[in-house]
Structure 1
Amino acid sequence: MNLDLGPRPSFAPQIQAEVELGQLLFYDPILSGNRNISCASCHHPRFGTGDGVSLSLGEGATTLGPERRADPDNRPEQRIPRNAPALWNLGADDMDVMFHDGRLEADPAYGSGIRTPLEGDMVAGFDSALAAQAMFPVLSADEMAGHYGENDVSRAVRLGQLSHPGGAWDIIAGRVAEIPEYRQRFDEILGAAEPIRFTDIGNMLAAFIRFEWRADDSPFDRAQLHGEALPTTAARGQELFYGSAGCSQCHTDWLQTDNRFHAIAMPQLGPGKAARFETHARDEGRLRVTGNPDDAYRFRTPSLRNVALTEPYGHNGAYATLEAVVRHHLDPVAALMSYDRSQAVLPGLDGVSDWAVMDDPVELERIAAANDLDPIALSDGDIADLVAFLEALTDSAAAKGRLGVPDSVPSGLPVER
């Protein structure tokens, strides 16, 4: 089955020194307020560059993946409201929309070249939206910054001192600059004794992500480019995907995403996406970015590359398996109303309510009313074929990693392996 998928995704060439520096920073807890969490805590290759749970536990938790647990001496205040997104192909040149709600994207209309809710704090220096997205986790109390009063970064964040001189970004960059190996590596890239800015850290992280998690050599790619045959079940699934099942209406082009926003009545769990002063538990998705009521409960179409490795699925990880999330798409409203809560993978966190929305009939009706997808009838065999096709989007070489997890990092802090 030959498909017209448009131009192949392109990736900017990388400088190896930047990639290697970005690898060390990615796995180094020095970027977190309490020096106890790295980017890899929630985006680990062991879990397909996610963390294997529906909603992460960030600051105040220990260990990795489904085994992650709250630290009884400093427990998290809440779960992270959304599923940790996979990092596959975020370095492709046209992947310039970040996060489930697209709150950060490349936009030349803005002085920094990037549109974000933090526009007032944006500064020039990030080389891409991928580099700029690094600023969000380190400024989040629940993800990496820590809770107010725990450290100098969290105090700066609470006071609104972000990109200001002496603010959170400067504090983090200063920590890195004080470590001799990081200072030497940045000297080789920036020039001797040039100041290390947080934007430089973001750019190094982006260089590593572009290199390490480029995934564009799957059986699907080889079938399209070189005529290699897909397994029979995957070939049938491909015909459904690009035909009567209608999946390609949103999962378009080579990376199977239109980078747009759609409402598909996904069940909601966890604390919801709300400001600290708000009390509701719902997550209205794109609406929180645009303010447009028509964007309620819309979320960005995820790329499906290496999707077989990135469970659980959905903007909040509501479904534990590929088959389950495929079945949801067949009749989203019916699936919402009959959702099996055992699908959620939620590490223990005492004293929190994960099901406020699912227990509220009014909220369920709002989610259902926003749904974009019409019901479609597929057999169990059809669903199995679709899953087989999705598995054929796996780039096994990329999944093994190129640089891998370092044995140690320059700060001397523990590396989560």
Structure 2
Amino acid sequence: MRVALILAVIVSPVLADVPAPVTDADYLPVNEAEARLGHLLFYDPVLSGNRNISCATCHHPRFATSDGLSLGLGEGGVGLGPDRRADPENMPEQRIPRNAPALFNLGAREFTVLFHDGRIETDPTHPSGLRTPLEDEMVMGFVSVLSAQTMFPVLSPDEMAGHYQENDVAKAVRSGRITGSGGAWDIITKRVEAIPVYREMFSDTYPEIAAGRRIAFTDISNAIAAFIEFEWRADNSAFDQMLRGGEALSPESVEGMMLFYGDAGCALCHSGPFQTDQGFHAMGEPQIGPGKAERFENHSRDIGRMRVTNRKEDAYAFRTPSLRNVMRTGPWGHAGAWSDIRAFLAHHSDPAAGLSNYTRDQAVLPVLDRTKPDWVILDNANEAAAIEAAARQGQRLSDADIDALVAFLDALTDNGAIAGRLGVPDTVPSGLPVDR
């Protein structure tokens, strides 16, 4: 019997919002051969402009599919996780503007909007079936929004492409050549196609390639998406097991669950089977780092969803993250401003209360000189006030409430999913080093 859940619902009928157990029907089907191909591509630096960064550099299982940093260092960084630092021989131009999100359960059917600001989403009115920053230039063949999302970091100078004039990919990106022959995606595809092991694996995986079709860039992205879907499905936490009629949660976790789905109001946004409404909310999060600005802009502001919609009501709103494995995916917030989960929950419960209690030692930031100041927004009273003014009202939690919520969030941890099903490969077909 689901003793803890039944008891909780009896005590507080509001807990009818507790979701039903996750099932296979909630996920897209995965071709395991395609996932195994994507496994190697995910860890292979060949996809980056300078062949020195893989997807795993910022999304590593050692750090629960993130990187353990508030804001990561892509191109120009060396090392992994919190040990990553700027390479004095190839200094980064700036930090990656937003925190590296976790990758759990992105194969679930309900994930149709991705990135912190939702700039990529399913849209059947577009020929590609997707709305992305490329608009009408978006190519056909991406099988899902996840597939499309995986291939935008390779275009970012700060993430994987590299800086101006450093390599052929970076030059193509800077000149606006993304799709088509000679574009950045085409250059990366030809690199992969030139490796015999990859040619054989693509032929074995996709019948049309075996029949003679050239490898397309979308084949690479589709394989990586299949790997993420297969590797990091997370639905075997203590919470999941309880929902399926298994062992009851601890009394502390039950108390936290009652708060989460009851008086604390967490489930107003963190609803559904994966604790996300897939929506966007202004939560008054501290803005650190370079912000989301174009190279020609001088500000360090990040207005979130408003950058996509141009609607004032979306200012400083960011996508509600799923909470599976949340206790392992810090630092938290769109800019990773919080490294203490208790401090984060205290602020998050009542974001309109302001940023006065934020302490800057919460941030995990490798030293990076001669770039945009990290604290320029919080040092500006008007900028901080604008973040606070947009934030939704909440209610303050007691220390005991936070203890209970932490116990419940811990019950959302699926250690098997964090480790992954295939793990880190020993080698990749390019022969380049693998981040371990």
Q: What is the TM-score with the length of structure 1 in the denominator? A: 0.98
Paired letter, 2:86: A
Contact in 2 for aligned 1:97/1:106 (Cα 8 Å):
yes
Distance 2:396 2:35 in 1: 46
* 2:65 corresponds to 1:49: yes
When the two chains are superposed, the root-mean-square deviation of aligned CA atoms in Å is 1.2
Distance 2:236 2:431 in 1: 35
Write the mapping of 1:286-301 to structure 2, written as runs, cut at 5 A: 286-301=305-320
Query: Aligned to 1:60, which of 76, 79, 96?
Result: 76
Distance 1:330 1:29 in 2: 40
Write the mapping of 1:239-250 to structure 2, written as runs, cut at 5 A: 239-250=258-269
Distance 1:413 1:172 in 2: 15
* 2:81 corresponds to 1:40: no
Write the mapping of 1:262-277 to structure 2, written as runs, cut at 5 A: 262-277=281-296
Distance 1:7 1:238 in 2: 15
Q: Tell me the SS of whatever aligns to 1:171.
A: helix
Distance 1:96 1:111 in 2: 16
Q: What is the TM-score with the length of structure 2 in the denominator? A: 0.94
Distance 2:28 2:227 in 1: 12
Partner of 1:409: 428
Shift in Å, 1:148: 1.0
* 2:96 corresponds to 1:80: yes
Shift in Å, 1:254: 1.1
Distance 1:46 1:7 in 2: 27
Distance 1:65 1:331 in 2: 30
Partner of 2:86: 70
Partner of 2:47: 31
Distance 1:41 1:250 in 2: 30
Shift in Å, 1:248: 0.3
* 2:374 corresponds to 1:354: yes
Paired letter, 1:171: I
* 2:396 corresponds to 1:380: no
Write the mapping of 1:326-345 to structure 2, written as runs, cut at 5 A: 326-345=345-364
Query: Aligned to 1:8, which of 22, 35, 41?
Result: 22
Partner of 1:170: 186
Shift in Å, 1:87: 0.2
Q: Which runs of 4+ in 1 moved over 3 A?
A: 6-9
Contact in 1 for aligned 2:34/2:223 (Cα 8 Å):
yes
* 2:386 corresponds to 1:366: yes
Distance 1:57 1:335 in 2: 29
Contact in 1 for aligned 2:77/2:84 (Cα 8 Å):
yes
Provide the identity percentage: 60
Contact in 2 for aligned 1:28/1:411 (Cα 8 Å):
yes
Query: Aligned to 1:392, which of 411, 415, 421?
Result: 411
Shift in Å, 1:227: 4.5
Contact in 2 for aligned 1:135/1:202 (Cα 8 Å):
yes
Distance 1:179 1:91 in 2: 28
Distance 1:401 1:135 in 2: 21
Partner of 2:11: none
Partner of 1:207: 226
Distance 2:68 2:354 in 1: 22
Q: Unpaired segments of 5 or more residues in structure 1?
A: none
Contact in 1 for aligned 2:22/2:235 (Cα 8 Å):
no
Q: Tell me the SS of whatever aligns to 1:403.
A: coil
Paired letter, 2:391: N
Shift in Å, 1:333: 3.4
Distance 2:335 2:89 in 1: 27
Q: Tell me the SS of whatever aligns to 1:262.
A: strand
Distance 2:21 2:240 in 1: 13
Q: Tell me the SS of whatever aligns to 2:430.
A: coil
Cα deviation per residue 1:77-126 (whole Å; 9 max; x = unaligned)? 00000000000011111111110000001111111000111113201100
Q: Tell me the SS of whatever aligns to 1:383.
A: helix
Provide the aligned length of Structure 1 versus Structure 2.
Answer: 416
- Which has the larger displacement, 240-249 or 391-400? 391-400
Cα deviation per residue 1:316-374 (whole Å; 9 max; x = unaligned)? 10100221211112332335122100000001111231000000011011111101133
Distance 1:381 1:335 in 2: 22
Query: Aligned to 2:111, which of 76, 83, 95?
Result: 95
Query: Aligned to 1:221, which of 240, 249, 259?
Result: 240
Contact in 2 for aligned 1:81/1:273 (Cα 8 Å):
yes
Shift in Å, 1:257: 0.1
Contact in 1 for aligned 2:275/2:322 (Cα 8 Å):
yes
Distance 1:334 1:372 in 2: 9
Distance 1:373 1:124 in 2: 42
Contact in 2 for aligned 1:329/1:373 (Cα 8 Å):
no
Distance 2:429 2:73 in 1: 25
Partner of 1:257: 276
Cα deviation per residue 1:270-308 (whole Å; 9 max; x = unaligned)? 000011111111100000000111110000000000101
Distance 2:34 2:57 in 1: 21
Q: Unpaired segments of 5 or more residues in structure 2?
A: 7-15
Shift in Å, 1:6: 5.2
- Which has the larger displacement, 314-323 or 334-343? 334-343
* 2:251 corresponds to 1:235: no
Q: Tell me the SS of whatever aligns to 1:133.
A: helix
Contact in 2 for aligned 1:57/1:70 (Cα 8 Å):
yes
Shift in Å, 1:179: 0.1
Contact in 1 for aligned 2:22/2:240 (Cα 8 Å):
no
Q: Tell me the SS of whatever aligns to 2:121.
A: strand
